[in-house]
């Protein structure tokens, strides 16, 4: 069983590695779609061809000590982190028997996270494709009025917030969040929303504290937080929701 778990983890991590490499080549190098499958992976700076060990997701980064063996340039830490997150997410989905179509959502979120983290923006075309797939999943697997009501309230709230506070949420973030909500029951979606918001806020405060920057001027990429909170909520959302409603909130009222 352990061997199976390791294989599933590296499958997910390999998908993340492939997504990252594909987007990098298409966006930075301007390569044609099919040429990305013909050229070997190489160092972004010196062009050194990577060995099979260096290509291993997460492991390659550790073996190389986070830098190119030839030119010594540091490898962006985003790559091993994104590989680890997608690998662990897919593994946890397998262990907890989460519906397989959610893996498609994870892969889209992984691709969108790349853009959001490294470029602080997400492409409209990929966002629209994600919304179309989310609508299909909604009608096929999750058709219910409660989800529509909760999504509408949250999206409206975020639109008003983004109008009043210009750097709070981008339209792309709101659209992706709505697409995620279409696939989840309203309890899991509420948990996912608040985990992502609170964790992003905590990360902003932590980053601002260490860099001594004004919190209002810090732009945090939200899609990676959506991805992590999506994984947590798909697995533990029901438990977290019931705990907050039945145990935590009554305790606050009593106090």
On whether both 16 and 119 belong to a single domain, the answer is no
Q: What is the pLDDT of residue 51?
A: 79
Please state whether 66 falls in left (phi above 0), alpha (psi between -120 and 50) or beta.
left
pLDDT for residue 215 is more than 70: no
The answer to whether residue 198 sits within a structural domain is yes
Is residue 224 predicted with pLDDT exceeding 80? yes
pTM here is 0.90
Whether 132 and 18 share a structural domain? no
**Cβ proximity of 196 and 240 under 8 Å:** no
| Total residue count of the chain as it appears in this document | 255
Q: Are residues 220 and 110 in the same domain?
A: yes
Query: What contacts 63, CB < 8 A, 6 or more positions away?
Result: 53, 54, 56
pLDDT at 119: 81
CA distances from 139 to 66, 113, 148, 183, 205 (A): 44, 26, 12, 9, 39
Same-domain check for residues 84 and 200: no
- Quick one: 220 and 154 in the same domain? yes
Same domain, yes or no, for 182 and 255?
yes
The single residue listed with the structure tokens 């629209």 is: 128
Domain count, the chain: 2
Burial class (CB in 10 A: 0-12, 13-18, 19+), 211: exposed
pLDDT at 245 over 60: yes
pLDDT in tens, 164-206: 776 667 889 999 999 999 999 999 999 999 999 999 989 888 8
Higher pLDDT, 173 or 213: 173
42 class by beta-carbon count within 10 Å (0-12 exposed, 13-18 middle, 19+ buried):
middle
What angle is formed at CA 240 by the lines to CA 234 and CA 245, rounded to 5 degrees?
A: 135
Q: Which residue, of 49, 76, 95, is where some domain finishes?
A: 95
Indicate whether 100 belongs to any domain.
no
Asked, for residue 29, whether it belongs to a domain, the answer is: yes
pLDDT of residue 29 exceeding 90: no
Which is more confidently placed, 26 or 56? 56
pLDDT at 157 over 60: yes
**Domain of residue 71, residue span:** 1-95
């Amino acid at each position: 069983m352990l061997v199976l778990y390791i294989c599933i983890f590296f499958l997910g991590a390999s998908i993340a590695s492939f997504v990252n490499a594909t987007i990098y080549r298409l966006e930075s190098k301007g390569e044609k779609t099919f040429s990305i499958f013909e050229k070997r992976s190489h160092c972004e700076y010196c062009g050194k061809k990577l060995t099979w060990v260096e290509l291993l997701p997460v492991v390659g980064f550790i073996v190389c000590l986070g830098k190119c063996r030839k030119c010594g340039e540091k490898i962006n830490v985003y790559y091993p982190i994104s590989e680890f997150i997608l690998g662990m997410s897919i593994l946890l989905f397998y262990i907890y028997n989460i519906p397989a179509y959610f893996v498609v959502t994870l892969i889209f979120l992984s691709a969108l996270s790349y853009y959001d983290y490294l470029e602080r923006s997400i492409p409209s075309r990929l966002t629209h494709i994600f919304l179309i797939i989310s609508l299909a999943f909604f009608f096929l697997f999750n058709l219910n009025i409660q989800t529509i009501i909760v999504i509408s309230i949250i999206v409206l709230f975020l639109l008003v917030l983004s109008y009043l506070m210009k750097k709070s949420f981008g339209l792309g973030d709101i659209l992706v969040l709505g697409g995620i909500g279409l696939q989840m029951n309203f309890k899991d979606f509420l948990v996912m929303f608040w985990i992502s918001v609170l964790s992003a806020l905590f990360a902003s405060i932590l980053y601002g504290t260490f860099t001594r920057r004004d919190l209002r001027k810090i732009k945090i990429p939200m899609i990676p937080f959506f991805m992590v909170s999506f994984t947590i909520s798909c697995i533990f959302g029901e438990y977290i929701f019931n705990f907050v409603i039945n145990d935590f909130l009554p305790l606050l009222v009593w106090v």
